[in-house]
Structure 1
Amino acid sequence: MLKNPDSRLNLANAASPFKSTRTSAPEQGRVMRQYLSDFLQRLASGTQVIRRPPAGNDTLARGEGHFHLAPELFLQVSGSTQFRFGDASLLLEPGQVLILPPRVLHAERIPSQDAASPFRNVVIYAEGTALTCHLAHEIEPGRPGILHLEARLHPQAPHIHNWLSDAARSGATSAATDATTSWANTQTRALIAAATAGVLQALDDADTEARPEPPLVARARVLIKNQLGDQQLSVRGLAEQSNCTADYLSHVFRQTTGEHLAAFITRLRMERAARLLQDPTLAGKEIAWACGYTTQSYFIRTFRSHFGMTPKDWRSSNVEPA
């Protein structure tokens, strides 16, 4: 539990409004913002504990879990999260923050929790002009899921992405400790504080021109990004996770975005492939796996259909030799 006796910063106790998952969306949004504000106060005070993945887990690898091409920020409110990074692990405890660099394969599980302090964390992700911030809870024993999600297309998103990217790099070569005197830790806290403040500003910006998407569509986007490398990802599976039929999910997604859901998944996989092909150290079969394809031949056919050339030719045309 947190050592700070100030009740305003006792994030574990702040979880009490969510003892029932039937809490209204506006109330969930209000409490999520309060969690962000509480973490921001701790960052400003210099007492916030910031964790990083274990050393040696900063490259794309095959194994359990998923990865993103942008950094993620996990704010552990109550309960704890067990992260797996290949053969290494990290336990994120109440009140701690984890900054996760891009391309780090990770899996999340929830250890047994005290019923008085249920699992809650806030996850922040920004890529391009898109920002998502969600509050997670335990949807079944050991498995986290989305309790409340807010997504924005906002001019703050690129800044949040850059601040988190810089925070992920800041002090990354030094051993992970809780020392508060190092300049690297001070800089990391400042960058994460800027990102958190940016999220709060974006969430509360009533002047944004972006029309909110239906929650079903916004949630599907997050699920797809988290499962993009999963060979079992399908419209039917997404519908099961969304408690609706595949036909209904596809209809709402197309009506909202103008794009077929299956085509959207393929497009995101191809965009990921193109970005990974820019790294000359990655072999084609590694990229195929990272994009959710069971065989390299199927990946090549899909890539050629999308870009009009093979991955090898695309790399030759777009990437300068190392």
Structure 2
Amino acid sequence: MIPLSKDIERVLSALRAGRLKVRVPRPSDLFRWKPRSFFHPYPELFIQTGGATDFECPADSFRLRTWEVCVMPTGVPHAETPIDGKTLFGTIVFMRARDGFLVHRASASPDGAIHASQAEHLVSSRGRSAFRYLDEVSAPVVEKHRSAFRQSLLEVFLVTALGELHRPSGGIASQSPLITEAEKLARTLLGNPDLSVAGIASTLGCSANYLSRRFHEERGMTLGAWITRERLEMARDLLSEQRHSISEIGWMCGFSSPSYFIRVFRQQAGFTPRAWREASIA
């Protein structure tokens, strides 16, 4: 399999040469669950390495072709349909992890399901700033400067990711395919209140007990505890800004009601979300 860095370098070269097509769906119906669609509290970057992907978003529908990229803005609901062409469907997807980057290759099964075939967890303090650059790609800019603005932000993101991939200290934590898939699926669905260990296990074709045991062996905690931790880390990050209300953040992070969000947050952090926000921005 071609190293992730080689494909990223190819995209970076095309970007610098002005030959890269970059798709950025318009923000619309943000943070709303729709059939077959997912949204995330951070932006994503898709690199199409084979075949194509049909994206359906509230304000845009388009086909991402081989060696084109898509920056999916924060909160935009999107459905993905894999398409085989002269080459088989393949993508590289960048997602923000709690402690850096999550990068995975994805392929498609005969039934049209998209799954990770190679994943790397890049533990990096640069993840937060890198994804802020990616978040700015969808910012409104006058048309004559839009292309250069997006290109510069995307270049910084890709160069940062490459630097982490090449870091000799080995900031990469590899996992078994089962746990990689479980984490990927959980991260995709963190904002869904119906997310459960049983549902993840069913999707992955194993029992909840088996998945829980394997997850605990590799990660040192139960999958349920990991999901709660990831949701609360996401909430803390969102609370550090004033863009969303407490209730909105609870909903975005998968808590079924504001009261449940407040209760769990206080149990884990020792503060209510409001008190934590006031202290963090003081």
State the TM-score bracket (shorter-chain normalisation).
0.7 to 0.9
**TM-score normalized by the length of structure 1:** 0.73
Q: Partners in 2 of 1:93 and 1:51 — Cα distance? A: 10
How far has the Cα of 1:230 moved from its partner?
Answer: 1.2
Residue equivalent to 1:199: 161
> Aligned AA for 2:251?
W
Q: CA 1:242–1:33 in 2, change beyond 3 Å: closer, same or farther?
A: farther
Secondary structure, counterpart of 1:76 in structure 2: strand
Per-residue Cα deviation, 1:124-170 (whole angstroms, up to 9, x for no partner): 2344643222111223545422122222324xx61x65345325425
CA RMSD after TM alignment:
3.1
Per-residue Cα deviation, 1:99-138 (whole angstroms, up to 9, x for no partner): 233x323222216x35543322111234464322211122
Mapped contact 1:152–1:202 kept (Cα < 8 A):
yes
Residue equivalent to 2:68: 96
Mapped contact 2:38–2:79 kept (Cα < 8 A):
no
Secondary structure, counterpart of 2:260 in structure 1: helix
How far has the Cα of 1:74 moved from its partner?
Answer: 0.8
Q: CA 1:142–1:129 in 2, change beyond 3 Å: closer, same or farther?
A: same
Structure 2 matches for 1:1-322, cutoff 5 A?
A: 27=1, 30=2, 32-54=4-26, 56-57=27-28, 60-64=30-34, 65-101=37-73, 103-110=74-81, 113-114=83-84, 116-127=86-97, 129-139=99-109, 141-154=111-124, 158=126, 161-170=128-137, 172-174=139-141, 183-205=145-167, 207-208=169-170, 212-280=174-242, 282-319=244-281
How far has the Cα of 1:48 moved from its partner?
Answer: 0.8
Which runs of no fewer than 5 residues in structure 2 stay unpaired? Answer: none
Q: Partners in 1 of 2:165 and 2:119 — Cα distance? A: 11
How far has the Cα of 1:262 moved from its partner?
Answer: 0.9
Q: Partners in 1 of 2:243 and 2:153 — Cα distance? A: 30
Q: Partners in 2 of 1:121 and 1:209 — Cα distance? A: 22
Per-residue Cα deviation, 1:298-320 (whole angstroms, up to 9, x for no partner): 32322232223433444455456
Per-residue Cα deviation, 1:243-263 (whole angstroms, up to 9, x for no partner): 333222222222222222211
Q: Partners in 2 of 1:167 and 1:291 — Cα distance? A: 20
> Aligned AA for 1:202?
E
User: How high is the sequence identity, in percent, across the aligned residues?
Assistant: 28
Secondary structure, counterpart of 2:121 in structure 1: strand
Mapped contact 2:39–2:77 kept (Cα < 8 A):
yes
> Aligned AA for 1:44?
R
Per-residue Cα deviation, 1:164-190 (whole angstroms, up to 9, x for no partner): 5325425731377xxxxx554234324
**TM-score normalized by the length of structure 2:** 0.82
Which is greater in Rg? Answer: 1
Per-residue Cα deviation, 1:214-241 (whole angstroms, up to 9, x for no partner): 3333332222211101122111222233
Q: Partners in 1 of 2:130 and 2:274 — Cα distance? A: 33
> Aligned AA for 1:70?
Y
Provide the aligned length of Structure 1 versus Structure 2.
280
Secondary structure, counterpart of 1:148 in structure 2: strand
Mapped contact 1:151–1:218 kept (Cα < 8 A):
no
Q: Partners in 1 of 2:217 and 2:198 — Cα distance? A: 18
Q: CA 1:293–1:140 in 2, change beyond 3 Å: closer, same or farther?
A: farther
> Aligned AA for 1:121?
T
Q: CA 1:318–1:152 in 2, change beyond 3 Å: closer, same or farther?
A: closer
Q: CA 1:263–1:283 in 2, change beyond 3 Å: closer, same or farther?
A: same
Secondary structure, counterpart of 1:259 in structure 2: coil
How far has the Cα of 1:198 moved from its partner?
Answer: 4.0
Q: Partners in 2 of 1:44 and 1:217 — Cα distance? A: 36
> Aligned AA for 1:152?
L
